[in-house]
Chains A and B, each alone.
Chain A
């Protein structure tokens, strides 16, 4: 069992996401930075889409009531095991009674903690991912406890040579309503930097506006990575917890890898769009 001694800023359990229910308005959810989360599983020989702990900006402190192996990936939060610094992207053995303090993120926004064995969380509509409207909890609270399946055998670790790096070059495809943009707006999107405003698991708002004077469209499907432009010129990049349909023009669509990169950026960071062909 593990117990949360402190909860951090916004800590959740996430797996690959909830599929097959977008048709009735249920978001996909799942790891914000899918690549980092999956590597955390691979390194300790877990199934690639196993549930992991996702920490945001300020991490939790976790007490282990059972020995196991863990792996931390994503942004470096300066994690300590019993007050000794531990490495990222490598398997770490934890013993019964050990205390893992994740601390605060130095560079990016999110880190992932995989635990050898399966974290026991109720599956709702086929996924263990937290989402406030669907799962029993929306965020991990102080005192929360989770069982995990014991596995006494020392796993065969995989060595993955990966270093975490922020990437503010956001690769995008043209969206279904790209053509509603005028030349000036397209130039601005191509050539200028944009800074990240209010953001969460649902969407990243950008601070700079693009005054293209677009009007609403007939509500249609959206997915994580869809870039919407509102009539007032606000740019909204939808992320993993986004709604399933929307009425704003979909001007761009992030490539999957850039969706992972974006999830590691935070308020004030600059991004640049690079329009690429699909």
Chain B
């Protein structure tokens, strides 16, 4: 674990370990512990793939004080393996009406459309980070067969709810936006709801399991949920 003072009131805590589920779990455990130890002293806490960025309220504390508190955290104690992880079940329709780049990816990676879908469904993904747009989720890692660069030419209008692939990750576009990921499907879930006190149901450290739905299921109202099904593991 390394500390880097970014500016007068922000610190970056980062890890050099290789990215895998246990690193994501470790960072999530640290984040939860830091937030419970420091509460209102932290104005913002951004968990990403290998780091946590903390913005500190200098009216209440100092960077040194926060770093001291973090250094004293006993990881063995906070990493409670019995603690359930939230797994959100996200319905996805892979119909070509939505999967605008699935044929392109099929050609690029020399893999059938069905195999892309099966490979995408084969894993439970970690929510590695959120950013780019309010509620945009970076999920990883994907099956090697799905690894790809971002599209050479980004799309200007990616549909709300789109599921994308780039590098070794998959993502969810919570609203219409430009973007460079290969779009392979769409989910009817509301991923960012400003009327809620917690606009996003999911947080970095949670997990996502995609389940395939048909076009008719997509159009039926029962799938248009504010919040997807939650399984705790």
Q: Which residues of A contact B (CB under 8 A)?
A: 19-28, 124-125, 133-134, 173, 175-176, 218-223, 225-226, 243-246, 250, 253-256, 278
Decide: B138 and A219 in contact? CB cutoff 8 A.
Answer: yes
Decide: A24 and B53 in contact? CB cutoff 8 A.
Answer: no
Q: B10, B44, B133: which has the most chain A beta carbons within 10 Å?
A: B44
The 5 closest A-B pairs by CB, nearest first: A221-B53, A245-B131, A221-B46, A22-B44, A244-B131
Decide: A218 and B49 in contact? CB cutoff 8 A.
Answer: yes
**B48 cross-chain contacts in A, Cβ below 8 A:** 218-221, 245
| Interface members, chain B 18-59 (any A CB < 8 Å) | 19, 43-53, 55
**A221 cross-chain contacts in B, Cβ below 8 A:** 12, 46, 48, 51-53
Nearest residue in A to B51 (C-beta to C-beta)? A220
User: Interface-forming stretch among B1-9, B65-73, B101-109, B216-224?
Assistant: B1-9
Given A24-B135, A245-B48: A219 and B129 within 8 A (CB)?
yes
Q: B9, B49, B134, B136: which has the most chain A beta carbons within 10 Å?
A: B134
Decide: A223 and B6 in contact? CB cutoff 8 A.
Answer: yes
Q: How far is the CA of A24 from the CA of B8 in the complex (A)?
A: 23
Q: How far is the CA of A25 from the CA of B200 in the complex (A)?
A: 10
Given A176-B6, A223-B10, A223-B55: A23 and B49 within 8 A (CB)?
no
Decide: A125 and B7 in contact? CB cutoff 8 A.
Answer: no
Report if B161 contacts A (CB, 8 A): no
Nearest residue in A to B63 (C-beta to C-beta)? A278
Distance in Å: Cβ of A247 to nearest Cβ of chain B: 9
Given A134-B194, A218-B19, A225-B7: A19 and B132 within 8 A (CB)?
no
Given A218-B49, A256-B8: A24 and B203 within 8 A (CB)?
yes
Nearest residue in B to A250 (C-beta to C-beta)? B6
Decide: B44 and A23 in contact? CB cutoff 8 A.
Answer: yes
Q: How far is the CA of A125 from the CA of B193 in the complex (A)?
A: 11
Nearest residue in A to B50 (C-beta to C-beta)? A218
Decide: B7 and A253 in contact? CB cutoff 8 A.
Answer: yes
**B14 cross-chain contacts in A, Cβ below 8 A:** 176, 220
Decide: B133 and A25 in contact? CB cutoff 8 A.
Answer: yes
Q: How far is the CA of A25 from the CA of B129 in the complex (A)?
A: 9
**B135 cross-chain contacts in A, Cβ below 8 A:** 24-25
Given A22-B44, A25-B130, A133-B133: A220 and B7 within 8 A (CB)?
no
